[in-house]
Amino acid sequence: MMHTSELQWTAQEQSIAKAAFDRAYQREIQALVQLVRDQAGSIAGTDDVWRLHDFLSARRHELDGKYDERESALLFVFADLLKAGWLSLDDLNGLDALKLSKITALTRLM
Amino acid sequence: MMHTSELQWTAQEQSIAKAAFDRAYQREIQALVQLVRDQAGSIAGTDDVWRLHDFLSARRHELDGKYDERESALLFVFADLLKAGWLSLDDLNGLDALKLSKITALTRLM
């Protein structure tokens, strides 16, 4: 069990974290937008339109849960986003070495 | 208060009602499909994609409530669909005169 709540975040690190967080969210949303635009062209009937709605409901629920801005959750959120490819380590450049090593360790556990 | 539950529906009338009901639903869904296809092209960001989701949630909820197949609700459903233009009186051709007059009376009250 990692005691992530004991980590201190400097103002600069908070700013880096916020920027990385927002960047990942925007990237993921843009991919979703592209998917919806692609799918919309093939919507033809009742099933298709409700399938699109189900899909958006599930993605929204997932994204609401995943993008947890609490400091105690940030290492896990970043590990998840690195693993999924929405962030690279470059996006986290400027966080202290301990946080970065915890994040990469978490990534390997996922 | 109309005692619509006391009306008898013959097998032929049930069949006419079912066909009209399904036709109206298909027309309304096709209009929705067209709207979604038109809107999808202008989806660009976070707000747009969740706005589309909100819109589909509201429409689905509305349609689920509106298309009530219970016999006791049918006159109201048909009046509503006539009023909104999803059905014409031609679609209800074959229902007995009493039901048709109740439906048109309801339409005027809406």
Residue A1's pLDDT is what?
47
ipTM above 0.90, yes or no: no
Rg (CA), chain B: 17
Work out the minimum CA distance from A53 to partner chain B, whole angstroms: 6
Residue A42: pLDDT above 70? yes
Residue A40: pLDDT above 90? no
Q: Do B56 and A60 touch (CB under 8 A)?
A: no
Q: Which of A26, A40, A46 sits opposite B40 (nearest CB)?
A: A40
Find the closest chain B residue to A42 by CA distance. Answer: B37
Percent of chain A with pLDDT over 70: 95
**Per-residue pLDDT averaged across A17-23, rounded?**
96
Set of chain B residues whose Cβ sits within 8 Å of the Cβ of A36: 40, 43, 49, 52
- Residue B28 CB neighbours (<10 A): 21
* Predicted model pTM: 0.83
Which tokens in the block code for residue B77? 């459903």
Split at pLDDT 50, 70, 90, the class of B29 is: very high
Backbone angles phi, psi at A13, to 5 degrees: -65, -40
The residue extents of the domains of chain A are: 12-109
CA B83/CA B30 separation, integer angstroms: 18
Q: Do A44 and B60 touch (CB under 8 A)?
A: no
Cα→Cα distances A26→A20, A74, B88, Å: 10, 17, 47
Q: Do B60 and A53 touch (CB under 8 A)?
A: yes
Residues contacting residue A47 through CB under 8 Å, at least 6 positions apart:
none
CB-CB contact of B96 with B13 (8 Å): yes
Set of chain B residues whose Cβ sits within 8 Å of the Cβ of A46: 25-26, 29
List, as one string, the DSSP characters of B32-68. Answer: HHHHHHHHHTT--SHHHHHHHHHHHHHHHHHHHHH--
**SS3 state of residue A82:** helix
Q: Do A40 and B44 touch (CB under 8 A)?
A: no
